[in-house]
Structure 1
């Protein structure tokens, strides 16, 4: 048997492993997290769920737009497990009107949604420069002139990244553009978190 015939299957196996490792490292290189959020997309056709983190990937599902019930609006909620380049990897999505009916699963599996269309409420006092309480504080919501203080006045425009419970957010606070990390956010659209 020639050496090439022996080495070729080994080469193919190694190449396949390299591709698998590259794909795994793409996944491993994600900002891994365990948070939830809700869709802010008002498009009547729903929020696109894509096969990967970007618009070049095919649409593999759509999350329903917000539903109206008794004068209240309830958005689709997603379970987020990672992020990459402003896109968030989800493994499920549900609709829930918080009334008598149970939550309905509307997406299950591996998909990606844009952070431009995801919401969480920011409840903490500080935004940090990195996902750590040891990182520099880049903004203090309570250190502001006048009576309007606190994260209640922060208007979230997009989620950018996540790591564990930490979320990188972008938005405005009384006209000031802000971008930073916080571990004090809430994924509930109907109440504040403890």
Structure 2
């Protein structure tokens, strides 16, 4: 491992509930840096041709020229930098408008300024990606001394970090070590996302999940947090590498928020399993019937085609047209409470159109009033907005799993409101789906047939 020093003491091992305290050790100075935010400046450079901004713009807008850009400071922090200080200013970026504030862009402006003996020098001014709708990524700047310089992280899970040596600021990939670490986990595991890069202790953690978690024959569980690969970090030239990979339990890398969420999730799962038939995976999603049989979809007492039929899910129904318009086709909707061996346990079956104020005829097949099992082959749904990036499916039912891109036929990323091709399995709020020929896990599936489930 390359030599490094830390600016503040920390125990050799960070336990889950102690991570918050560890983060505080690399927090900005307690001076009133946030009390009054200084104005920002775009500087002399015209950022309209910046590659980060171009990539962040919607495909349909990239050919349209932008007006001059303006900025608004949203965060200002001051960190110790040897005998001087580093001011880290973050600002939202807008397209200028003749009246009021223009359209906010999907980037943030970062300005790094060295302050020493009453003098200030701007070291760097650059743009970083920012999701306006989700207010992400989460920014938590940290500065640590590493070797003969300093490393700035804008957030623990933000991939690009910055080496500061003298007056030079050099971006680098703080996740460059992850590929080799994933291989070290072995064939039984699939590398997920980097969970933490800690330049105070020079260690990194990569999530890994069971191989086959995205296979309908062996679907993963949202209540299985997987494991992690821990590595010792070191710089080899300008590249960050990981050494001495070790597989550890995932609870050792969770921050307070993740730890609390995991404990609550595990407790909810235990309660749900007590209320469900044996070997049933708890689910919290909704869907509809895609069975074309005019008699409806059979609801069975057990998850088997040989089991007794206890009722039906009504077939699709075309509501009467109004004012000369053709009537809309509605499918029966239901809650999905569990999954087992290719079958969904469903409840709260609603007649077609009932959720939208339509009067479903009593003369037509009526929905089963209890719960029962239906074949997974006969269930559909739409993607809901679960505050995760659009256009990405997950290898396992966890937001920390590996992602694979999925786009509609028009090139747009798949997202809320898109109808899936298959629902293979479910776990918690996740569904193992197939859409546009790509299979993976999506968080949040709904049965709303009128809006986009946002």
Q: Unaligned regions of 5+ residues in structure 1, if any?
A: 1-23
Other-structure match for 1:27: 277
What's the CA shift string for 1:19-71, capped at 9, x where partnerless?
xxxxx798353220121111111210100111111212121111110110122
Report if aligned partners of 1:167, 1:183 keep a CA contact under 8 Å in 2.
Answer: yes
Other-structure match for 2:453: 193
Do the aligned partners of residues 45 and 114 (structure 1) sit closer, same or farther apart at CA in structure 2, a change above 3 Å counting?
same
1:76 aligns with 2:340: no
What is the distance in 2 between the residues matched to 1:57 and 1:46? 17
SS, match of residue 116 in structure 1 = helix
Range with greater deviation from structure 2 (50-59 or 152-161):
152-161
Quote the offset at 1:73 in angstroms. Answer: 0.4
What's the CA shift string for 1:69-105, capped at 9, x where partnerless?
1221011111111011221001221114223548x97
Summarize the alignment of residues 1-194 of structure 1 with structure 2, pairs less than 5 Å apart: 27-69=277-319, 70=321, 71-97=327-353, 98-99=356-357, 101=359, 106-122=367-383, 124-137=390-403, 139-141=404-406, 147-151=410-414, 156-171=420-435, 173=436, 177-194=437-454
Give the count of matched residue pairs: 164
The normalised TM-score by structure 1 is: 0.73
What is the distance in 2 between the residues matched to 1:163 and 1:191? 24
Larger Rg: 2
The structure, 1 or 2, with the larger RCO (C-alpha pairs under 8 Å, 6+ apart) is 1
Quote the offset at 1:181 in angstroms. Answer: 0.6
The normalised TM-score by structure 2 is: 0.33
What is the distance in 2 between the residues matched to 1:26 and 1:94? 21
What is the distance in 1 between the residues matched to 2:295 and 2:318? 15
After TM superposition, where is structure 1 displaced by more than 4 Å over at least 4 residues in a row?
152-155
Report if aligned partners of 2:344, 2:375 keep a CA contact under 8 Å in 1.
Answer: yes
What is the distance in 1 between the residues matched to 2:429 and 2:413? 20
Do the aligned partners of residues 127 and 32 (structure 1) sit closer, same or farther apart at CA in structure 2, a change above 3 Å counting?
same
What is the distance in 1 between the residues matched to 2:449 and 2:358? 17
